[in-house]
Amino acid sequence: MAVSAYVRLQLSPSRGYAMGMPAQETGWTLEMVRALPDDGNRYEVLDGTLLVSPAPSYRHQLAVGLLFEILAPYTRTHGIGRTLTSPADIELSPTRMVQPDLFVIPAAVKTASWQDITSLVLVAEVLSPSTARWDRIEKRTAYQVKNVPEYWVVDPDTRAFERWRPIDQRPELLSHSLAWQPLATVPPLTIDLVKYFADVWL
């Protein structure tokens, strides 16, 4: 049966892993996840729980790509940092490794290894119906604990962005425009969300 979303997996070090089984909250380590085969799936771990998703859909990747096209010139021109997309193993803590759809690393970070990235300027995750809980709750909480200044949940179905900051208890919901100013010394980037989602659904 095809897997269409994140699946919580049960740890079984001697047998690997099994899809669709109840999750064990402890067990999976970053080293174990790195040892998994390069089989086209995306693997993440949050406090011992392994998350796996297959290659994303066309619409999902289009939404990520269009957002990258908007953000990359801005972050590069104003010296904010480098805009990248997954696959990428980003360690939020010794027990948390994620693969954000899109993220910005600070300009000061000069590295040739994912393990050297210890802070993020921005993270964006594009929802699919069955990954929404992970992106909105578990991963959102992990980004907030890490003090990621901005976390955007992009929902193509409702054509809206949910904007989270580290201390937020609920998101700012945006459907018309989004203004992002990561540095007070640079002009803000204003994203026309109506046009963005129209392009996603072309």
Give the DSSP letter of residue 101: S
Question: Domain check: are 166 and 190 in the same one?
Answer: yes
User: No. of H helices and E strands in the chain?
Assistant: 5, 14
Instruction: Tell me whether residue 2 is in a domain.
Output: no
Mean pLDDT of the region 124-128: 94
Domain that holds residue 20: 7-53
Instruction: Tell me whether residue 112 is in a domain.
Output: yes
Question: Per DSSP, which regions of 13-71 are E strands?
Answer: 16-18, 42-46, 49-53
> What pLDDT, in 10s, does the model give residues 136-148?
999 999 999 999 9
Collapsing DSSP to helix, strand or coil, 105 comes out as: strand
For the chain, the straight-line distance linking the first and the last C-alpha, in angstroms and rounded, comes to 30
Question: Domain check: are 47 and 75 in the same one?
Answer: no
Q: What is the CATH number of the domain that holds 178?
A: 3.90.1570.10
> What pLDDT, in 10s, does the model give residues 2-36?
333 344 444 343 333 333 323 334 588 899 888 88
Question: Domain check: are 20 and 116 in the same one?
Answer: no
Question: Cβ contacts of residue 45 below 8 Å, gap of 6+?
Answer: 28, 29, 30, 33, 51, 95, 96, 97
| Torsional sign, CA 70, 126, 175, 58 | positive
> What pLDDT, in 10s, does the model give residues 179-201?
999 999 999 999 999 999 999 99
The whole-angstrom separation of Cα 87 and Cα 84 is 9
> What pLDDT, in 10s, does the model give residues 77-119?
999 999 999 999 999 999 999 999 999 999 999 888 999 999 9
pLDDT at position 130: 66
Question: Domain check: are 42 and 64 in the same one?
Answer: no
Q: What is the count of structural domains for the chain? A: 2
Instruction: Tell me whether residue 131 is in a domain.
Output: yes
Instruction: Tell me whether residue 18 is in a domain.
Output: yes
Instruction: Tell me whether residue 36 is in a domain.
Output: yes
Question: Domain check: are 124 and 36 in the same one?
Answer: no
Ranked by mean pLDDT, the top range of 36-45, 68-77, 89-98 is 68-77
Question: Domain check: are 39 and 109 in the same one?
Answer: no
Instruction: Tell me whether residue 80 is in a domain.
Output: yes
Question: Domain check: are 35 and 81 in the same one?
Answer: no
Question: Domain check: are 25 and 69 in the same one?
Answer: no
Collapsing DSSP to helix, strand or coil, 17 comes out as: strand
Does 178 have pLDDT greater than 90?
A: yes
The whole-angstrom separation of Cα 18 and Cα 191 is 41
The whole-angstrom separation of Cα 16 and Cα 34 is 13
Question: Domain check: are 31 and 65 in the same one?
Answer: no
pLDDT at position 20: 31
| Torsional sign, CA 72, 78, 82, 86 | negative
Residue 46: name the closest of 116, 94, 5, 4 by CA: 94
Question: Domain check: are 11 and 89 in the same one?
Answer: no
Give the global pTM: 0.84
Question: Domain check: are 45 and 140 in the same one?
Answer: no
Instruction: Tell me whether residue 64 is in a domain.
Output: yes
Does 52 have pLDDT greater than 50?
A: yes
Give the DSSP letter of residue 169: S
Instruction: Tell me whether residue 1 is in a domain.
Output: no
Residue 55: name the closest of 90, 101, 11 by CA: 101
Question: Domain check: are 78 and 144 in the same one?
Answer: yes
